[in-house]
Structure 1
Amino acid sequence: MDLIQKYRRFFWILGQWVFFGLLIGFIVGSATTLLLETNDYLGNAREKNGWLIALLPIGGIIIGYIYMNYGKVVKNNTLNDAAKLNNLVIDAVHGEKQVLRRMGPIVYLGTFITVIFGGSTGREGAAVQMGASVAEAVNKFFNIPILDKKIIIMSGISAGFGSAFGAPITGAVFGMEMAVLGRLKFEALVPCLVASFVGHYTTTAVWGHTHEHFVIKNVPEISIILFVKVILLGIIFSLLSVSYSQLRHWIENTTDRIFKKNHMKRAFFGGIIIVILTLVVGTQDYNGRSLTMLEHAFTEDVPPFAFLAKLIFTAITIGTGFVGGEAIPLFFMGATLGNALHSYIDLPMSFVAALGLIATFCGAANTPIAAFLLALEFFDGNGVEFFFVACMVSYIFSGHHGLWPSQQIYEPKSKLYGLYNGETIKNIEKKKKQ
């Protein structure tokens, strides 16, 4: 009898996880389709109307006003600020804070404003935050126990990432890997897997959205010299990811201090700087998502310092309070740097661009397994050995830096770093300054 009860309980819990994954996946997949289609439309509209970039500072004021007046909620003597973006989502997974149900609509509106006026952002941030806000609504509606709420939030993250990039396997793992550096929270496997796949197929099969596709034209034959080159490239791309993360954090902290946490003033100032930089470089190739040049990085030579321009544009955009995502800008930085390096190391252009795309994202996000799986899904399994090495090297050499200061370190990347378990990236940065 006890055995029968155990099996009943097992299948009851399994059924719940599948149900919640289905529900979250469908809602988030539909919402992500709206995000992707609207972003494409607004991005095309901006490219046809270059004068819209002049309105970016005004867009910053609007975004700042929304977050300052509608993005903050105090619960249990704790401030839950939607302007913390993915950091709030990670804190919710740790049980330290709570995702706002209004966070999804707010970040969607902020992303649309950023895109139409030429801020340099991506989209996965909005998809992940919408996923988390949908998951929080499910938590509230079904009155889910406190210990299981974290798992539901993680499944929302998976649904958002998987549907945003057409990478359901990556999405499933990303939801489990994002919050804690050095550990996969496998207790969330079932709802994350279901939510990511359902979200992906809702976006593609139900609503018919087509994702961008990148192709590696030629993968070199395996050799010791080639692996040495891949290791060297992995180190270079890890340094690129650290440079971006540190610059963005510095801009964010500095402008926050100068403008005394006034989101409207920060974003207005950031918008002015982006407008000036756009006039200086004489092109809007680095505004918006820059997908055209990203695709060209796999097929033809692009400006050798395009990666640096995108790094500066995106760091200022996100660091001064605009919203969207950082994955596509990181893809751009890595791919264009790879494009610039390929002739110096005598490797095929598309191959090095692909390595840069994946390794730079890996070093910044601190999600080596998800990044490796993303390479498999993006490039149809080509060059699997090299992507694995590049991801591991970038992960190790990027140190304990990253996009999200709220990430906890379950285990340090190496004993050489002399860190303790349970630290956050934010605390580590503070200790370095003392």
Structure 2
Amino acid sequence: MRQANLNIKLKYKNFFFLLIQWIFFGGIIGTVVGTLTTFLLETNDYIGEVREKRDWLIFLLPIGGILIGYIYTNYGKVYLNNTLHNAADLNNLVIEAVHGNKKVLKRMGPIVYLGTFITVILGGSTGREGAAVQMGGSVAEAVNKLFKVNVLDTKVLIMSGISAGFGAAFGTPITGAVFGMEMAALGKLKFEALIPCITASFAGHFMTTAVLGHKHEKLILQSVPEQSMMIFIKVIVVSVIFGLLSVLYCQLRHGIQQYSEKLFKKNHMKRAFFGGILIVIFTLMIGSQDYNGRGLEMLEQSFQEEVPPFAFVAKLIFTAVTLGTGFVGGEAIPLFFIGATFGNTLHTFIDLPLSFLAALGLIAVFSGGTNTPIAAFLLAMEMFNGKGLEYFFIACFVSYIFSGHHGLWPSQKIYEPKSRLYNVNNGEKIKSAEKQK
């Protein structure tokens, strides 16, 4: 009996020690990532304004592509145990680190920051959360090495870094906590990581907003329709369309990357130079820079009034070319833009409030593209103050199911197929599932 009591005490002691350890690590990661993310956000806002006042900077984008390619070619590759760890894999490298297949490079954070700044100021079409997530993984890897964290917990702390980056970048700490656990795999949530992910996400958000005073953009959902069977049917139908739109973007973006790598024999500098030329040509053809950079003004406008009906097509092409040819940055804001402007366009054909359709599109396209329906639903709750939760819940999961086994990140592992109707094996990655099709 005495031995049994001692075992119980030891078990509880180990439990509380581990709990305190995870809160400690999560707090450190969140604080550092929140601080660095604030720098990213403030700098991106500033250089975005600089670009808007100096239209001629777009002509330097091909040169910026050469510079980004040079940085990643010469400083972004490390061989460990005969395995290439390439910072140019971006979020895919972070996901591989969560699976334990590769390591996030500590230098990845500074490299992606610099690459994102170059892309944004010269007019590439990209977002920012990619840099925050990769920097979060980089900080987590530094913490792992500094404190000599064991192999099992290193994966958990990488998830914490993802959570801190996402939560701080968008001012959505609850979403960030779940996104860190949901991003790496379909059909599986590693709840063991919940405590450090929550701690890191809230710590990052607190540093960004309360301590350093950054103000996030606000998208106003002006009205939500009353519940009825017809409204739910309409929501399901448009959510299917939004899911298919996310597939179109992912396929085009991956196709451009594969083709450009083959065409230029994986020479990053040549790929990005050519991509920069294409973006310059597209910009001159359209006669506007509305689709360069992050496009926050038109994104906000899509919730208030009608935008050009093919704005979503332009942004889809600009972003797919930008990121597919080797420029860097995030894909969440471009997905927001594509979904919201397409929802705005559908308002002409579907009798639903304009801002409601824009919000549905934003959330559903994000859900289908990232394969993170729970995080997408929580994002809707935090972004729109809990309005229309039943509609967003349906939109997230309908889009997720109908997007099939496609997604932004080929390294995502499929632990459980979305449906038995899909001919996909457990444990496959998105990359191999897409090749089968």
| TM > 0.5 fold call | yes
Unaligned runs of at least 5 residues, structure 2: 1-5
Separation in structure 2 between the aligned mates of residue 240 and residue 182 of structure 1, nearest angstrom: 22
Q: Deviations over 1:308-331 (max 9, x none)?
A: 000000000000000010000000
The equivalences for 1:236-385 within 5 A come to: 236-385=241-390
The equivalences for 1:12-411 within 5 A come to: 12-411=17-416
Q: Deviations over 1:290-318 (max 9, x none)?
A: 00000000000100000000000000000
Q: What's the CA shift for 1:397?
A: 0.1
Q: Deviations over 1:347-403 (max 9, x none)?
A: 100000000000000000000000000000000000000000000100000000000
Identity %: 71
Q: Deviations over 1:66-104 (max 9, x none)?
A: 000000000011000000000000000000011000000
Separation in structure 1 between the aligned mates of residue 350 and residue 435 of structure 2, nearest angstrom: 38
Separation in structure 2 between the aligned mates of residue 304 and residue 75 of structure 1, nearest angstrom: 49
Separation in structure 2 between the aligned mates of residue 125 and residue 357 of structure 1, nearest angstrom: 17
Q: Deviations over 1:167-211 (max 9, x none)?
A: 000000000000001111111000000000000010000100000
Q: What SS does structure 2 have at the residue aligned with 1:74?
A: strand
Q: What's the CA shift for 1:343?
A: 2.8
Q: 2:423 aligns with which of 398, 418, 426?
A: 418
Separation in structure 2 between the aligned mates of residue 354 and residue 431 of structure 1, nearest angstrom: 33
Q: Deviations over 1:406-428 (max 9, x none)?
A: 00001000000021100001111
Q: Which amino acid in 1 is paired with 2:67?
A: I
Q: What's the CA shift for 1:429?
A: 2.1
Q: How does the TM-score come out when normalised to structure 2?
A: 0.98
Q: Which amino acid in 2 is paired with 1:381?
A: G
Separation in structure 2 between the aligned mates of residue 218 and residue 158 of structure 1, nearest angstrom: 30
How many pairs were matched up? 432
Separation in structure 1 between the aligned mates of residue 293 and residue 161 of structure 2, nearest angstrom: 25
Q: Which amino acid in 2 is paired with 1:156?
A: G
Separation in structure 2 between the aligned mates of residue 428 and residue 348 of structure 1, nearest angstrom: 37
Q: Deviations over 1:117-141 (max 9, x none)?
A: 0000000000000000000000000
Separation in structure 1 between the aligned mates of residue 167 and residue 297 of structure 2, nearest angstrom: 22
Residue matched to 2:3: none
Q: What SS does structure 1 have at the residue aligned with 2:348?
A: helix
Separation in structure 1 between the aligned mates of residue 423 and residue 69 of structure 2, nearest angstrom: 39
Q: 1:427 aligns with which of 403, 419, 432?
A: 432
Unaligned runs of at least 5 residues, structure 1: none
Q: What SS does structure 2 have at the residue aligned with 1:79?
A: strand
Q: What's the CA shift for 1:220?
A: 0.3
Separation in structure 2 between the aligned mates of residue 49 and residue 202 of structure 1, nearest angstrom: 32
Q: What's the CA shift for 1:431?
A: 2.7
Runs of 4+ residues deviating >4 angstroms: none
Q: How does the TM-score come out when normalised to structure 1?
A: 0.99
Q: What SS does structure 2 have at the residue aligned with 1:345?
A: coil
Separation in structure 2 between the aligned mates of residue 50 and residue 211 of structure 1, nearest angstrom: 25
C-alpha RMSD of matched pairs (Å)? 0.5
Q: What SS does structure 1 have at the residue aligned with 2:84?
A: strand
Separation in structure 1 between the aligned mates of residue 255 and residue 425 of structure 2, nearest angstrom: 24
